[in-house]
Amino acid sequence: DGGITQSPKYLFRKEGQNVTLSCEQNLNHDAMYWYRQDPGQGLRLIYYSQIVNDFQKGDIAEGYSVSREKKESFPLTVTSAQKNPTAFYLCASSIGTAPGYGYTFGSGTRLTVV
């Protein structure tokens, strides 16, 4: 996955259940991001983190939570408060937050509510 690994690839969630999506990078990137992608649509930012132990809400943070205890890891928890969680979730990282640094994306996790 080019240095950034997401797991699992497919995840099924029951109603009322919390699930955690894993994102690990070995690129020594400072910044990490979580995006949600719905069929036929663009990318919407859920959360981002510029540095360890710090993270900020994106455009659609409600029903989601994150942590950044290690530089390499940025897990995303989809809580029961997220009413429509079925989507493709993409994690990304970048060297920094100054403009001009491209994102490296993970291969994604497809979450389905059953």
Partner 1 sequence: GENVEQHPSTLSVQEGDSAVIKCTYSDSASNYFPWYKQELGKRPQLIIDIRSNVGEKKDQRIAVTLNKTAKHFSLHITETQPEDSAVYFCAASKSNYQLIWGAGTKLIIKP
Residues contributing to the site for partner 1 (CB under 8 A): 1, 31, 33, 40-45, 48, 50, 56, 90, 94, 96-103, 105-108
Whichever of 16 and 42 has its CB closer to partner 1, that residue is 42
The distance of closest approach from Cβ of residue 32 to partner 1 in the complex, given in angstroms and rounded to an integer, is 10
For 112, the token pair is 């389905």
* Whole-number Cα distances in Å, 74 to 15, 39, 63, 80, 100: 24, 24, 16, 20, 22
Q: What's the min distance (Å) between Cβ of 69 and partner 1?
A: 19
- Pick the closer one to partner 1 by CB: 45 or 113: 45
Quick count: other Cβ atoms within 10 Å of Cβ 9?
9
Nearer to partner 1 by Cβ, of 16 and 40: the residue is: 40
Residue 45 vs 52, nearer CB to partner 1 = 45
Nearest distance from residue 62's CB to partner 1, in Å?
18
Terminal alpha carbon distance of the chain: 28
| Tokens linked to 71 | 């530089």
DSSP 8-state class, residue 102: P
CB of 102 to partner 1, least distance (A): 4
